[in-house]
Copies of this chain bind each other. A is one copy, B any other.
Amino acid sequence: MKRFQLLIPVFLMIGLAGALAFAQVDFSKEHNGLLRHVVCFSFKDDAAPADIQKVVDAFADLPNKIPSIVSFECGTNVSPEGLTKGFTHCFVLTFKTAKDRDAYLPHPDHKAFGKVLGPVMKDVFVIDYWTK
């Protein structure tokens, strides 16, 4: 019995360590918000509409291949303000963590998409931000 009593502090320390491990912040998620990855393209003047559509379809297929893309939106410009700097297509991808975005950028499926995009793309604009 006395030996058991001596072990009580050991059990307490093991329990405390376990509790701390569970309470530890998940550093893979540095932020309470979501990471928006906004991508805009303009296309070469001689790009065939069918080839532009292939780019849109290939981009829209990436969430099926890369599950860390938790949401995907895309559309063509309908702003009447004339402030698009020539960009015509907007894509917004959402990630939960910067780690997920960082893994997406060099992902083989993202690279394969780049090969569909490359021949017809004129310019690209990218801005990422955290939602509150």
Tell me the number of copies of this protein.
2
A32 within 8 Å of B by Cβ?
no
Point out the residue from B75, B77, B85, B128 that lies within 8 Å of A85, measured CB to CB.
B85
- Chain A contact patch, size range: 20 to 34
Give min CB distance, A43 to chain B, whole Å.
14
State the main secondary structure of chain A at its contact with B. strand
Give min CB distance, A120 to chain B, whole Å.
17
Give min CB distance, A36 to chain B, whole Å.
7
A69 within 8 Å of B by Cβ?
no
Residues of B within 8 A of A80 (CB): 102, 105
Closest 4 CB pairs of A and B: A75-B129, A79-B128, A83-B126, A90-B129
Q: Which residues of A contact B (CB under 8 A)?
A: 33, 35-38, 40, 73-81, 83-85, 87, 90, 92, 98, 102, 105, 124-132
